Amino acid sequence: MAAAAAPPGAGCSPAGGGSVPVLFCFSVFARPSTVPHGAGYELLIQKFLSLYGDQIDIHRKFVVQLFAEEWSQYIDLPKGFVVSERCKVRLVPLQIQMTTLGNLTPSSTVFFCCDMQERFRPAIKYFGDIISVGQRLLQGARLLGIPVIVTEQYPKGLGSTVQEIDLTGAKLVLPKTKFSMVLPEVEAALAEIPGVRSVVLFGVETHVCIQQTALELIGRGLEVHIVADATSSRSMMDRMFALERLARTGIIVTTSEAILLQLVADKEHPKFKEIQNLIKTKVERSLK
């Protein structure tokens, strides 16, 4: 048997020498290889990555399973398993759909400001409004110590971020040509922020850069909150259908006030008064 903890008939047959043949299965693929005698879970994972690394999303959770002849099917890898005989294992992504709670805390949140640039001003519906809301969100991020990542779509042709938006303290301001904000530099910046779980996303255009960014982020296991009153498109129909589609994929469509109050969570929060003043500014502007 492959290990003392493995059940009888766990799909292995005797093999000698310093290495043991193992069939590594992932998705529709099956690739034979060898591992050292006595290899455990960690070495099996390393071998899966070496064989299928370009196809495995490392941000997802997986389970390793062992083919058990006794049951004629795969079982979860027994605790303490080590390879001592020929066997067949597979890597299975966990696909359990869990309800997204949408909780936000400053320590696990990052703000993404997408392409709020000068050349978009005459074309984007309600651009002045989303600039104002975006600026309040960035002020809130500074008050709460939340990292901010900013992109600019082809700034040589479309200009820089509008002057009304203060990028002081932004962790990263990056030019791009790709529609999604998920660039190697952005992924590296996220990796430097410990415990990031949630992204608050706003900017333009809803149905292009915002949508593609949000879909890439959830594909990497991050929870995404799109700020509806801080994102827009040239066409309101494009915006409406994009937000509907994104909501169906589990992305949270919300508002700037909901975001800011969720981040402080309590009237006794030391920054509550300052956040409240930002919200009052919004209300006063809407009444004018």
Please give the Cα distance from 284 to 56 (Å, whole number).
Answer: 50
Give the residue from 241, 231, 20 showing the smallest Cα distance to 111.
Answer: 231
Q: Three-state DSSP class for 65?
A: strand
Please give the Cα distance from 173 to 116 (Å, whole number).
Answer: 12
Tokens representing residue 276 in the block? 């409240």
Catalytic residue among 115, 171, 178, 229: 115
Q: Three-state DSSP class for 215?
A: helix
Please give the Cα distance from 30 to 57 (Å, whole number).
Answer: 18
Judge whether 176 counts as a catalytic residue: yes
Say what the pLDDT of residue 284 is: 54
Judge whether 238 counts as a catalytic residue: no
Say what the pLDDT of residue 17 is: 56
Place of tokens 């502007």: 285
Please give the Cα distance from 246 to 255 (Å, whole number).
Answer: 15
Task: List the pLDDT tens digit at each of the 288 positions of the chain.
Answer: 333 344 433 444 444 458 999 999 998 889 999 999 999 998 999 899 899 887 777 656 788 999 998 888 999 998 889 999 999 999 988 754 444 578 899 999 999 999 999 999 999 999 999 999 999 999 999 999 999 999 999 999 999 999 999 999 999 999 999 999 999 999 999 999 888 999 999 999 999 999 999 999 988 889 999 999 999 999 999 999 999 999 988 899 999 999 999 999 999 999 999 999 999 876 555 545
Catalytic residue among 88, 176, 229, 282: 176
Q: Are strands 73-76 and 85-93 parallel, antiparallel or unpaired?
A: unpaired
Judge whether 113 counts as a catalytic residue: no
Catalytic residue among 25, 87, 114, 209: 209
**What is the model's pTM?**
0.67
